Amino acid sequence: MQMSEKREAPDLFMQKEIARLKEANLDWKVHELDGPSQSKTIVDGKKSIVLCSNNYLGLANHPKLKEAAVRAIEEYGAGSGSVRVIAGTMKIHIELERILSEYKGVPDSIVFQSGFAANSGCIQQLVEEGDLIVSDELNHGSIIDGCRLTSAKRVVFKHKDIEDLGRVLDQNASSARRILVITDGVFSMDGDIAPLDKITKVAKNYGAMVYVDDAHGDGVLGENGRGIVNHFKLEGKVDIEMGTFSKAFGVVGGYVAGSHILKQYLMNKVRPYLLSGSHPPAVVGACLAAIRLVQSDPSIVQTLWENTRYFKKGLKDAGFDIGHSETPITPIMCGESSIAQNLAQLAFVGGVFVLPIVFPMVAKGKARIRTIVTSSHSKEELDTALDVFEKGGKKLGLI
Ligand SMILES: *Cc1c(COP(=O)(O)O)cnc(C)c1O
């Protein structure tokens, strides 16, 4: 067989795309941590205060979680041996779902390998041809992927805009058999909170299901970090409460909390649950320890909020524009991409690890440094970081 003249070298598309990304300075450079994820660790060979992890409660390297992981390995081994529905459900997998349901105040819950697997696996099973998905325009990529895997009609509403949600529902609801209204709980780029109380009210008027992705609200919002549903006192009103163990809980794993029938349905339908290996015992043990810890010690979440208020006030007092965050995610607005990149570089030299967030992750002209404090940062570390940002901000003419 002859090679077509049109046929290009098999990896040419990769070469071209990488060249384009490098040219635009949009290619990811991986930073290497030589040590655990904690408030201060070695990053790219330099001891740095970490202000860009999702380790909100400082649990990633917590002795109780490590101890629980080791214990689980000793009792159950290094791997689970199978997918959940064949031979990969151990006693601790069941225990984790029981403790999680109790913590969330729901009848039942189901754990997946990751939050990404939960969103991409569940959304596609909840709606199909003839149905409607209504999604906030700034929803997370894993929600977008989940929506793309369905044949349901998909429409977006303006970010957090209840009137627009009503308009979109009015225009599209009549022909839909089922409707799924879906939103992030806390939006990861701005740190703002979805008006879930109002969204739920509007959705119910149309007989829609409500699905919230609480990845950044878990362990952060609500009493003892129970999340956004508890924050708005919406227990029993949100059909699908999805979250993750990879952020505040310091480990890895996704989950959906809700009714018994929802769990039964998802465990029979979700492809990553049916077709991909279950969590190794160490992960499950550490997740269990994380929930037990936040349940028994309210001071961890309280410290997170004290640090959040302290750091936000420091940035504001220095004169920075910190957007409209309501959570420990605090952007330092820089405008131009180059300013954000330079500020991150100055911070790193000063011993603070943060990353610039630039187009296309955020709109053009809205480049920023995204800072995330944790409950394990000391006041001294926060003061050092504030000082470094103030000096850098002045140097770059931001403040
Ligand atoms: C991080 C994140 C996820 C993915 O969670 P993982 O458990 O890390 O896969 C999903 N949704 C949102 C909003 C997130 O921020």
Residue 76 backbone phi and psi in degrees, to 5: -120, -10
Task: Give me the amino acid identity at 24.
Answer: A
Q: What is the mean pLDDT of the chain?
A: 97
Distances (CA, A) of 44 to 30, 32, 58, 281, 356: 9, 5, 21, 31, 16
List the residue whose alpha carbon is closest to atom 14 of ligand 1: 215
Domain count, the chain: 2
Residue 34 falls inside a structural domain: yes
Do 103 and 195 fall within a single domain? yes
pLDDT of 252 > 70? The answer is: yes
215 Cβ closer than 6 Å to some ligand 1 atom: yes
Q: Please, how many CA atoms are within 13 Å of residue 115, restricted to the half-sphere of its CB?
A: 23
* Domain that includes residue 161, residue range: 63-296
Task: State which of 296, 327, 359 marks the end of a domain.
Answer: 296
368/381 Cα distance (integer angstroms): 21
256 and 144 inside one domain: yes
Reduce the DSSP state of residue 126 to 3 states and report it.
helix
Are 377 and 313 found together in one domain?
A: yes
Residue 247 annotated among the catalytic residues of the structure: yes
Q: Scanning the structure block, which residue is given the tokens 């936000």?
A: 312
Average pLDDT over residues 170-185: 97
241 C-alpha to center of ligand 1: Å? 13
CA 18 to ligand 1 centroid distance, Å: 25
User: How far are the Cα atoms of 138, 208, 314, 327, 347 from residue 321, in angstroms, in the given order?
Assistant: 21, 38, 12, 15, 17
Would the pTM of this model clear 0.85, i.e. be above it?
yes
Helix (H, G, I), strand (E, B) or coil at 149: coil
On whether residue 87 sits in a domain, the answer given is: yes
Beta bridge partners of 285: none
One domain, residues 187 and 115: yes
> Which residue has its alpha carbon closest to ligand 1 atom 2?
215
Instruction: Tell me the C-alpha to C-alpha distance, in Å, between residue 1 and each of 4, 8, 273.
Output: 9, 16, 43
Q: Is the pLDDT of residue 25 over 90?
A: no
From ligand 1's centre to the CA of 146, what distance in Å?
12
What's the whole-number mean pLDDT along residues 92-114?
A: 98
Nearest CA among 271, 307, 399, 381 for reference residue 56: 307
Tens-digit pLDDT profile for residues 306-343: 999 999 999 999 999 999 999 999 999 999 999 999 99
Residue whose structure tokens are 């999805």: 242
CB 209 within 8 A of CB 242: no
Strands (DSSP E) along the chain, which ranges? 40-43, 46-50, 108-112, 132-136, 153-157, 179-184, 209-213, 240-244, 254-258, 329-335, 352-353, 356-357, 367-372
Is 3's pLDDT higher than 80?
Answer: no
Whether residues 164 and 232 fall in one domain: yes
Confirm whether 194 is domain-assigned. Answer: yes
Q: Answer whether residue 1 shows pLDDT above 80.
A: no
Q: What is the CATH number of the domain that holds 125?
A: 3.40.640.10
DSSP secondary structure string for all residues of 288-353: HHHHHHHHH-THHHHHHHHHHHHHHHHHHHTT---TT--SSEEEEEEESHHHHHHHHHHHHHTTEE
Active site residue 151: no
The number of residues in the chain equals: 399
* Domain edge (last residue) among 244, 275, 296: 296
Best residue among 56, 246, 252 to mutate for probing ligand 1, ranked by most atoms within 8 Å of CB: 246
Band (pLDDT 50/70/90 cuts) for residue 158 is very high
Residues 6+ apart with CB under 8 A from 349: none
Domain boundary among 275, 296, 317: 296
181-204 residue pLDDT tens = 999 999 999 999 999 999 999 999
Query: Are residues 167 and 105 part of one domain?
Result: yes
Under 8 Å between Cβ of 112 and 121: yes
Residue 5 has pLDDT above 90, yes or no: no
Q: Is the CB of 168 under 6 A from ligand 1?
A: no
Residue with tokens 């952060």: 220
Strand pairing report for 367-372 and 329-335: antiparallel
How many angstroms does the Cα of residue 1 sit away from the middle of ligand 1?
47
Tens digits of per-residue pLDDT, 10-19?
999 999 999 9
Could you tell me if 74 and 91 lie in one domain?
A: yes
